[in-house]
Amino acid sequence: MVQPILWLILAAIHAMPALALFRPATLTTLYRLHPDSPLFLLMQHRAGLFFAVFVACLFAAFVPEGRRLAVLVVGISMVSFLLLYWQAGSPPPLRRIALVDLAGLPVLAGVAWLAFRQ
């Protein structure tokens, strides 16, 4: 019972950035990007990738066979962002995003341990 809850927590972490795929104004709220910015389309595409991570988390919550792959997908997403954030000198505008990902790492570690313990 604990695994689906942990996966739903990870899905919730990725829901807001995924929402930008369907509601582009979210990009302005989250990243201070405006529709006339050349990065807007790229970030909306990134939201599509976050939607894929979100769906992987939902899938893993209910289909145990998908959990190992979902651990890899979510882990690559979260850890790569945190490493890039740190390497970039921890830019203040991205601090909230980094803190959310950092808070999600123990949850990710828990589902990883549960998925790979056999």
pLDDT tens for residues 23-62?
999 888 878 889 999 899 999 999 999 999 999 999 999 9
Cα 101 from chain centroid? 7
Residue 93: predicted pLDDT = 84
Torsion of the alpha carbons at 101, 104, 109 and 112, rounded to the nearest 10:
-90
pLDDT tens for residues 60-111?
999 999 999 999 999 999 999 999 999 999 999 889 999 999 999 999 999 9
Taking CA atoms, 41 is separated from 48, 65, 83, 101, in Å, by 11, 34, 24, 23
Distance CA 92, CA 32 (A): 13
Domains in the chain: boundaries: 2-116
